[in-house]
Structure 1
């Protein structure tokens, strides 16, 4: 019985959509006389945009073959070497953990276009941290601060870490705390807690870890699933401190 109501609802939607968009009359017959199949065919051919279908197909292809995204973006750069295409390629390398190549592409983006785009500089700060190039983090970070300041919490956090490692703890604190915002930045807050533990600041670490665990109890299912890795690690670390 529930299946019947679903078909009726789907059929009603398709008829309404067909009427509203003044589609060809034969669609009314297809939807009315072949309710389930006809409605599905109508949805695929008339409701869903071709670009949406292609986007889903691309997403599946990138999951199955992650290197395809890099290959496709490299082709775009070869065809049109624009700043955005270069940054997209760098982002793809970063997402795959290829930090040296990501750094190289971000550098090319800045140099080829003589760009003064803080968002690209912030990406360079982040990737330089993952490459353990703390001097570079400091150098680029200071340029950002001298200009308009950080807009990326993550970049500010890694700049703060580099400052702290250099012994400038007073300056570092405000940048480190930039990621400490409730119901967000879970991985970065976990990193901050780990950083505090490295510095023997156990109380500060426990406070952040406790907040992460507490917030997880009020998350919806999707948010919990997206942040589960950081939450599980926070729980584990917190238990180890008790």
Structure 2
């Protein structure tokens, strides 16, 4: 396996030399020092300054997320455009400042963008995080006819908000839509728990069995991602 990886690496470097007319002595270095030569070539010839700047920016945003906020605030001050407001709101969502996110999403909706599905669905998520379920219902009902709403996480959140407001039948109708095979594993587990809370044991069992069965066909990365969900589904099944 490692042998083929090295071959692919060499092949890419040689292709890059020919395509970008890099000095041909690089070919000899890559051929005679397969791993070291290829790594040196990639670092010095492929990994350019723009990549370095982009990586540096991303790292700084992870280490200091407020820097991204400040940069986006400056952009908005320079140009009070719809996209700049949305970008700033998105950044606030990323750091969990739902109140600020909603403020800029609402400003973005003013004018000709008042039916923007992307903005409204993010607002719905923010309102739910703040436990403002009435606002979730209000905004969700403004996009409920949009085809993107059906079988989406937004519809799932809408269903949860309906449950919190005591509208259990409506909640079930909307949560049920998220029960789609080979997707929404976390949400389907929540749906199964909702069914159990309503003493609908057989329906809940079906959902849990589907999750555990599908888990057997997951890729290794997905199994790692949904390991806790799969484990909890299996444990719940054992109790039924």
So what's the TM-score if we normalise by structure 1?
A: 0.78
User: Distance between the aligned counterparts of 1:4 and 1:157, measured in 2?
Assistant: 47
The Cα RMSD (Å) is 3.3
> Where does residue 20 of structure 1 map in the other structure?
19
User: Distance between the aligned counterparts of 1:168 and 1:79, measured in 2?
Assistant: 45
Unaligned runs of 5+ in 2: none
Q: Secondary structure at the match of 2:92?
A: helix
> Where does residue 89 of structure 2 map in the other structure?
90
Structure 1 segment 54-203 matched on structure 2, within 5 A: 54-111=53-110, 114-146=113-145, 150=149, 153-166=152-165, 168-203=167-202
Q: Relative to structure 1, is the Cα distance of residues 225 and 19 closer, same or farther in structure 2, using a 3 angstrom cutoff? A: same
Indicate if the aligned counterparts of 1:126 and 1:154 stay in contact, CA closer than 8 A. no
User: Distance between the aligned counterparts of 2:26 and 2:43, measured in 1?
Assistant: 13
- Report how far residue 25 of structure 1 moved: 3.5
Q: Relative to structure 1, is the Cα distance of residues 7 and 159 closer, same or farther in structure 2, using a 3 angstrom cutoff? A: closer
User: Distance between the aligned counterparts of 2:173 and 2:60, measured in 1?
Assistant: 42
Instruction: Count the aligned residue pairs.
Output: 240
Q: Secondary structure at the match of 2:38?
A: helix
Of the structure 1 ranges 127-136 and 28-37, higher mean CA displacement relative to structure 2 is found in 28-37
- Report how far residue 54 of structure 1 moved: 4.3
> Where does residue 208 of structure 1 map in the other structure?
207
Q: Relative to structure 1, is the Cα distance of residues 158 and 34 closer, same or farther in structure 2, using a 3 angstrom cutoff? A: closer
So what's the TM-score if we normalise by structure 2?
A: 0.78
Deviations 1:131-182 (A, max 9, x none): 1111111111111125666156111112223334555555444421221111
Unaligned runs of 5+ in 1: none
Indicate if the aligned counterparts of 2:163 and 2:171 stay in contact, CA closer than 8 A. yes
